[in-house]
Every structure is written in structure tokens, then in C-alpha cells.
């Protein structure tokens, strides 16, 4: 097998894996939808917020199921591993704080720790990369974990 054929095969194999891995697909879908929401929000001077949950411990892989009754029908949620992202169009940081309280109430009494972090366009950033970098920095902050025992 020559190098060129091997490289093309490797690219196609990697691409197929990326497209069939549900976690990777969810991250790509979140970024694409966020890009769209940012463009619309910029044009119409609206807000967009993203809440990211990171579960620590057993039972956190089902965050989406646990929160499904509290996620508004107009919001989009994406789960991957022990993470759940909720994209909330037309929601400023005050609306995000209200949603976070609703999520916390729904998760209280569960036996695990969870981190909550959020970002709001345009306050926290104006690009997907800006918002993602800030959001991941906040979720990885050691002080963000909250016990929900």
C-alpha cells in the first residue's frame, strides 16, 4: 500500500468515526447551532446563553434525562460523557440565573456533585471560540462543584 492510499484511507476512517461517535456529533451540533444563534443575535441585538453541567461521580451520565422536564422546549441540549450543555436563545444572564436555580432544584437530593457554568453572548464573548474557552475555564474551576446530597 503506498503512502497516499494509506493517508486517504486513514482520513476516511477517522472521518467516519467522527461522524458516528455520538459525543463528537453532539459537540459539532452544539457549535453549529451556537454559531447560527450568535449570527441571529448579533443581527437582532439579542442574547444567547449556554449552561454547561459537569457531573462528578456515579449517575451523572444521565443528566439530560434528569433535567428533561426543566429544559424549555425552545432550548437545545447536547450531552457528551458526564457533560450536558443547554443552549438558550434569547436568554440573558438574569434568565440564565433563573434557569440554573430551576435545574438545581430538580437535581437536589441526588447523591453526586455537579458543576454548573454559564456564558452569555455578548457579555462574555462574541464568538463560539470565546464563549467555549470561557465556559470550559469556568466549568474546570475547582470551586464550581456543588454538592447535591
Q: What is the pLDDT of residues 8-19, one digit of tens each?
A: 555 555 555 555
Answer yes or no: are the C-beta atoms of 77 and 86 closer than 8 Å.
yes
Summarize the confidence of residues 80-86 as an average pLDDT: 84
The pTM of the full predicted model, rounded to 2 decimals, is 0.81
Domains and CATH numbers, the chain: 3-147 (3.30.70.270)
Note the pLDDT of residue 133.
93
- Mean pLDDT, the chain, integer: 82
Burial 91-130 (b: 16+ CB within 10 A, else e): beeeebeebbeebeebbeebebbbbbbbbbbeebbeebee
Note the pLDDT of residue 93.
93
Local confidence band at 106 (pLDDT 50, 70, 90 cut-offs): confident
Summarize the confidence of residues 96-108 as an average pLDDT: 89
Amino acid at each position: 500500500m503506498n503512502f497516499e492510499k494509506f493517508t486517504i484511507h486513514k482520513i476516511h476512517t477517522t472521518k467516519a468515526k467522527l461522524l458516528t461517535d455520538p459525543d463528537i456529533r453532539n459537540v459539532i451540533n452544539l457549535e453549529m447551532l451556537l454559531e447560527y444563534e450568535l449570527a441571529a443575535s448579533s443581527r437582532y441585538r439579542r442574547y444567547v446563553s449556554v449552561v454547561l453541567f459537569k457531573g462528578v461521580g456515579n449517575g451523572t451520565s444521565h443528566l439530560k434525562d434528569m433535567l428533561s422536564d426543566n429544559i424549555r422546549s425552545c432550548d437545545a441540549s447536547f450531552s457528551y460523557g458526564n457533560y450536558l450543555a443547554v443552549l438558550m436563545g434569547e436568554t440573558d444572564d438574569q434568565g440564565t440565573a433563573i434557569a440554573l436555580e430551576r435545574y438545581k432544584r430538580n437535581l437536589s437530593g441526588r447523591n453526586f456533585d455537579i458543576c454548573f457554568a454559564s456564558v452569555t453572548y455578548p457579555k462574555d464573548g462574541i464568538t463560539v471560540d470565546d464563549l467555549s474557552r470561557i465556559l470550559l475555564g469556568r466549568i474546570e474551576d475547582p470551586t464550581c462543584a456543588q454538592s447535591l446530597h
